[in-house]
């Protein structure tokens, strides 16, 4: 038996999907998502009119994968006119496909004997909790669990070292120690332009297409606009510090799967700079910026960069097109592993 440390944001268990009441975008729109085998079996065997309704709205593609059959406008066929989940209303949460049950939670991010549960800012309700309800600093809850998994002392020690580094970085970010790096985007302008060029865009990103078009126009003058932005929106520093701590707390754990800390570190600061440019685009478009705009900015960032492994890789490293055509051509567009069936 081993002990596993589990950590989560203090607000993690407070999350409840609000459906159509406060969402910027309905997340059940335009996603072509694989179904897990257990849910396919449930739908195939479900009795009565509800079962027929479920079966009429799923399909197999040429690879034999079961998918939800979206309408021509991209809407999920199970959405009601009020943008609520018809599956959940008819048969309860257990009848939803795994992705719908999990999102926006990311569970069991693994590093040695450590497990992280977190909530993704691509969900506007999570953004509301993050920026409005949970204070100016990230707070976490840790528990210890029993596990049958065998974890070597050497791996436990590596985990302790990485967590010590990460937690120190999270504190320093929230204390403002990295402000000069967080709010200095000039050096990142070229790389961010390439990131936006190479990213895979999804159809349900709300008004992200408009925002990213604005970003491309303001890239050359972003540093000058940033000075005005910080002066006129004094809360932006605390919002960005907290968000940077969120990025660091999650992304540094990728060191274990990547085999290097360099990419995860790059991703923290590049994520902040992309997010800042989204904020600047909205600020320039509106002439003002408040906490609801911060929530929308995080939502737009998250929809593009929190789910696609291809887009996540762009934040870690700008790859040479000739040497790595797989990433340049956008073939590696799979979803983050926690979303897989």
- The rounded distance, in Å, linking the Cα atoms of 54 and 68 is 9
Q: What is the model's pLDDT at position 320?
A: 40
Nearest Cα residue to 198 out of 332, 31, 327:
327
- The rounded distance, in Å, linking the Cα atoms of 147 and 323 is 42
Nearest Cα residue to 268 out of 281, 255, 249, 294:
249
Nearest Cα residue to 254 out of 172, 162, 145:
162
pLDDT digits (tens, 9 = 90+) for 244-281: 999 999 999 999 888 889 999 999 999 999 999 999 98
For residue 314, count other CB atoms closer than 10 A to its CB.
25
Q: Which two tokens stand for residue 78?
A: 């199970």
Q: What is the model's pLDDT at position 225?
A: 86
Summarize the confidence of residues 65-78 as an average pLDDT.
Answer: 86
Record the pTM. 0.83
Is pLDDT at 176 greater than 50 in this prediction?
yes
pLDDT digits (tens, 9 = 90+) for 1-29: 789 999 999 999 999 887 665 676 667 76
Summarize the confidence of residues 86-98 as an average pLDDT.
Answer: 89
Average pLDDT over all residues of the chain:
84
DSSP H helix total and E strand total for the chain: 16, 6
Q: What is the model's pLDDT at position 194?
A: 83
Q: What is the model's pLDDT at position 332?
A: 38
- The rounded distance, in Å, linking the Cα atoms of 246 and 252 is 10
pLDDT digits (tens, 9 = 90+) for 289-304: 999 999 999 998 988 8
pLDDT digits (tens, 9 = 90+) for 40-59: 999 999 999 999 999 999 99
Domain boundaries, the chain: 37-102, 160-339
- Residue 7 vs residues 29, 65, 99, 129, 162: alpha-carbon distances, Å: 31, 34, 22, 18, 15
């Amino acid at each position: 038996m081993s002990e596993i440390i589990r950590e989560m944001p203090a607000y993690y268990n407070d999350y409840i999907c609000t459906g159509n009441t406060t969402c910027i975008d309905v997340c059940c729109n335009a996603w072509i998502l694989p179904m897990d085998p257990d849910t396919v079996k449930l739908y195939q065997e479900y009795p009565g009119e509800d079962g027929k309704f479920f079966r009429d709205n799923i399909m197999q593609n040429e690879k034999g994968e079961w998918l939800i059959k979206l309408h021509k406008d991209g809407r999920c066929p199970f959405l009601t006119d009020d943008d609520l989940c018809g599956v959940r209303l008819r048969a309860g949460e257990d009848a939803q496909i795994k992705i719908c049950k999990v999102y926006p939670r990311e569970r069991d991010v693994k590093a040695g004997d450590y497990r992280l549960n977190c909530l993704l800012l691509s969900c506007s309700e999570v953004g509301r909790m993050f920026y409005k309800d949970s204070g100016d600093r990230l707070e976490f809850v840790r528990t210890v669990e029993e596990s049958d998994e065998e974890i070597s002392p050497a791996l436990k020690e590596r985990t302790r070292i990485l967590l010590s580094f990460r937690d120190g970085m999270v504190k320093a970010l929230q204390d403002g120690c990295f402000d000069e790096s967080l709010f200095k985007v000039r050096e990142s302008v070229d790389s961010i332009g390439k990131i936006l060029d190479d990213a895979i865009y999804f159809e349900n990103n709300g008004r992200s297409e408009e925002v990213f078009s604005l970003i491309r126009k303001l890239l050359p003058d972003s540093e000058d606009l940033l000075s005005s932005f910080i002066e006129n929106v004094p809360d932006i520093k605390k919002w960005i510090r907290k968000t940077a701590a969120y990025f660091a707390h999650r992304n540094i754990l990728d060191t274990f799967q990547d085999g290097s800390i360099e990419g995860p570190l790059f991703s923290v600061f590049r994520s902040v700079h992309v997010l800042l440019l989204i904020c600047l685009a909205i600020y320039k478009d509106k002439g003002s910026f408040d906490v609801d705009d911060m929530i929308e900015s995080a939502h737009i960032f998250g929809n593009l960069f929190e789910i696609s492994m291809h887009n996540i890789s762009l934040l870690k490293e700008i790859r040479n097109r000739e040497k790595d055509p797989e990433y340049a051509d956008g073939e590696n567009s799979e979803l983050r592993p926690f979303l897989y069936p």
